[in-house]
Amino acid sequence: MRWLALLVVCLPCLAWPCAVADVGSLQTHIRGEEALVVFDEAKGMEHFIRSAEFLTEGGSFGFIVPTPSEPQFAEFDADIFAKLASAYEAARPETRKLDVSSMFLLRKMEGHNAIGGLVQVLSSDRVAGMDVTVVKASDATALSEWLAKHGFTMRPALQTWLDSYVKQGWVFSAFKYEGAPKSSTTSKAVRISFPTKVPIYPYREPSDSSRRAGMQVWVVAPQARTWKGHAPFMQSAKLVLPSTIESLVSGPKVVTLFDDLTEKRPDADVEFLPSASTSEILIPRVVPVTIPLEGLCCVLPVVVVAVLVFRRRKRQA
């Protein structure tokens, strides 16, 4: 359970492909986020599930998510990430480790381990308590003007970021949330589904982003997936997945977990390509076998007496 607690603590630090574009001023920071890619290869459809915690000074805020094609939205199971962590914990093999500790100290520590023409509006929707408008633009300046007109704060770094995706012909989902000033807000889990031949993760962010570079993301697909330059942290076809994931894609499924610890984000987005590997990568779960130190103290005198008696008899013989 110690590893599971660590995983649950680490998961809220996951990265999400978006740019914060505050409504009013740049006062919002992403405090924590979780992400999952489910890829239906037969239908060429990616389902991206995410949940994030925003710390905002101004109350209302917005963020922009780029995708290669027009997406659809749905609210999703809010506990999906906890369920994935539990499924992984259940699939891990066990290994036992001998641990000599004081039971008194263990009991004391138990309570401390908890854990216009140039911009086309494609659709508008409301999902998971947020308003979202999907737009496509042929000109980044026109897109910036549209966003500013609709209450989003523009800045040079965001302008450059938008321009890179406009040139690729991607679409943008502009989310807006109305909340209380100086508050921490956790969004409900949102499923963003869009057609794609290869599951992708738009990993680039505006250069003035205040978030750290690293990323952890779950990928569920018919076969294992690779990320160039990154070895999978976990890979398994044995996980018993929640029904909400099973309903998104049929057939066999391999779950791969990537953990990027690099300090600087790349200039390119991530593509999760098929892997030929069929090996199981599961960190064994250590089950401590505790021998009470108090018990050893009681046994030690008996052992000493037994040794002395044995030696005495040996001399007499």
Q: How many secondary structure helices (H) and strands (E) does the chain include?
A: 7, 19
Hey, how many other C-beta atoms are within 10 angstroms of the C-beta on 50? 25
Helices within the chain (DSSP H only)? 2-10, 80-91, 103-109, 140-149, 156-167, 243-246, 293-316
Strand 190-195, strand 72-75: pairing? antiparallel
**Helix or strand or coil: residue 203?**
coil
Which residue range(s) make up the domain with 114? 2-316
In tens digits, what is the pLDDT along the chain, a chain of 317 residues? 333 333 332 333 333 445 555 433 334 445 556 789 999 999 999 999 977 665 555 556 678 889 999 999 998 887 888 899 899 999 988 887 665 555 444 444 343 333 357 999 999 999 888 899 999 999 999 999 999 998 888 888 889 999 999 999 999 999 887 765 555 555 567 899 999 999 998 878 888 776 554 567 899 999 999 998 888 999 999 999 999 999 999 899 999 998 877 666 667 888 999 999 999 999 887 777 776 665 656 666 767 777 777 777 777 76
Of 274, 271, 201, 233, nearest to 85 by C-alpha is 233
* Contact of 37 with 273, CB cutoff 8 Å: no
pTM score of the predicted model: 0.74
DSSP assignment of 114-156 equals ----SEEEEEEEEETTEEEEEEEES-HHHHHHHHHHTTBPP-H
Q: How many domains does the chain have?
A: 1
